[in-house]
Amino acid sequence: MKKGEIHEFEIESYAFEGKGICKVAVDEDKERKKVVFIQGAYPGDVVKAEVRRVKRSYIEARTVEIVKPSEDRVEARCIHFGTCGGCKQQNLKYEVQAAHKRRQVAEVFNKIGGFDEFKLEPIIAAEDIWFYRNKMEYSFSDKRWLTKDEIGSEEKFDDRDFALGLHIPRMFDKVFNLNECFLQNEISAEIVVFTREFFRSRNISIYQTRTHEGFLRNLVIRISKLTNDLMVNLVTSYEDEKLLNEYALELEEKFPAVTTFVNNINLKKALVAYGDYEKVFFGSGYIYDIIGKYKYRISANSFFQTNTMQAEKLYQTALEFASPEKTDIVYDLYSGAGTISLFISEHVKTVHGFEDVEPAVNDAEMNKQNNDVENVHFHQANLNKSFLPKLEENKIPKPDLVIADPPRGGMNPKTVNDLLKLKPPKIVYVSCNPATQARDVKLLCEGGYELIKMQPVDMFPHTFHIENVALLQIT
């Protein structure tokens, strides 16, 4: 097979991050076979696919025609499906999505970590597979993505240099204009459309990565189903109080459901949807959400689990895996707004939460006070460096249990080494990226731990992402 050729394939299985798999013979005797990864194909499909890359041990291809669809396919709901990278499995039955995710967790731990003997619990599937996100980040771009029909029409589009929506996969500077979305809430898409038209009609500049000039950067919407709080956070490169006062007035009038509007000012060149400081134009500058019996204050830049309903199941799983004693001292690493710390507080003696982001630590302290919890203590600590000096400085006793919930990149090797020096009897590792989790768990097991069991929890229906809880015990 050569690059650019189109061949017919029958899909046999499914790879992590959503690619169909089949095997093809590479010699006349059909004894040697090569794996083909095919984007846009599911097990049971027969497809025609264009070869995109030929490597020594595998081939990559992209579906161009579905000859015979799998019986697991369904009609995608969103008009942006196929362009947007957010819901790549929206055309696959949800129960099949969940089954694939569970199997992929096992495969990742086997291939990356070398694990083949551990207990993998059935996946905890989501009850709500639509409108489940409490946070969405949208991007402004001066390069609107044009559809094939638009390009073929040879028309001139006066909005091609102004877009607000989601990025095209693998294109950091291309954004399509979002008009509907079934991930967060109907009103979110309406706010996106309103915001786009408000600033485009005023010819407001968009930040450009080439020149590092321009005003508009991101729009972030946070919403709570349980308290009906709704935050709009506009991320800009500098302040413009007059303009944003106008925006705030129209936003509040058109969308009375919006409870607070915040402007984050990002002075950095990095394409990140948070600022160096913020200004609140109306409302408190916060929203509140509830997990279990605890109420949490969430600022514009706080980390909070994106799917509130599934987060309670995730934390309950972590609690059950930990099976703590009333005498236990617990460390909560990457503690964010204190959600896990407070959730487990009534079951243990003391919890020490460690978090790098100062606004998140402030939120955690406020959440602690608002929930009248006294046995939790939060510490600002850079977990990309050794946090052991923080323990000595504050005379914090060694833990009986550590719960870690790091970002997608996983734990820093220095943090892993710190855990190996502390040697807590149990570690519960919560992760949104099984690949980096498997890497870290392997290092911990090489240092004296044993992987006991794992529990996948689907926080993100229609995507390839999966949350996973792992229990490790010292051997």
Tell whether 320 and 456 lie within a shared domain.
yes
> At 464, which CATH number?
3.40.50.150
Mean pLDDT of 102-107: 93
Mean pLDDT of 25-36: 76
78 part of a folded domain: no
90 part of a folded domain: no
Domain edge (last residue) among 290, 321, 348: 290
89 part of a folded domain: no
How far apart are the two ends of the chain, measured CA to CA in Å? 49
Tell whether 58 and 181 lie within a shared domain.
no
> At 239, which CATH number?
2.40.50.1070
Q: How many separate domains does the chain show?
A: 3
329 part of a folded domain: yes
Tell whether 192 and 118 lie within a shared domain.
no
Tell whether 352 and 451 lie within a shared domain.
yes
Structure confidence at residue 85 (pLDDT):
76
81 part of a folded domain: no
392-444 pLDDT, tens digit per residue, is: 988 999 999 999 999 999 999 999 999 999 999 999 999 999 999 999 999 99
Domain edge (last residue) among 259, 290, 321: 290
Percent of the chain with pLDDT over 70: 95
Tell whether 104 and 252 lie within a shared domain.
no
Average pLDDT, the chain: 92
Place 474 in a pLDDT band, splitting at 50, 70 and 90.
very high
> At 37, which CATH number?
2.40.50.140
Tell whether 194 and 274 lie within a shared domain.
yes
The domain of 384 spans 99-129+304-474
91 part of a folded domain: no
Tell whether 277 and 163 lie within a shared domain.
yes
Which residue is listed with tokens 């996969």? 169
8 part of a folded domain: yes
Tell whether 314 and 462 lie within a shared domain.
yes
Q: Is the pLDDT reported for residue 30 higher than 70?
A: no
Tell whether 55 and 179 lie within a shared domain.
no
78 catalytic residue (yes or no): no
How many Å apart are CA 308 and CA 312, to the nearest integer?
A: 7
Tell whether 359 and 240 lie within a shared domain.
no
Catalytic-role residue among 78, 87, 432, 445: 432
198-256 pLDDT, tens digit per residue, is: 999 999 999 998 888 999 999 999 999 889 899 999 999 999 999 999 999 999 999 99
38-84 pLDDT, tens digit per residue, is: 999 999 999 999 999 999 889 999 999 999 999 999 999 999 998 88
Q: Is the pLDDT reported for residue 146 higher than 90?
A: no
Contact 361, 380 (CB under 8 A): yes
Place 193 in a pLDDT band, splitting at 50, 70 and 90.
very high
Tell whether 11 and 152 lie within a shared domain.
no
Tell whether 67 and 113 lie within a shared domain.
no
65 part of a folded domain: yes
Mean pLDDT of 305-319: 95
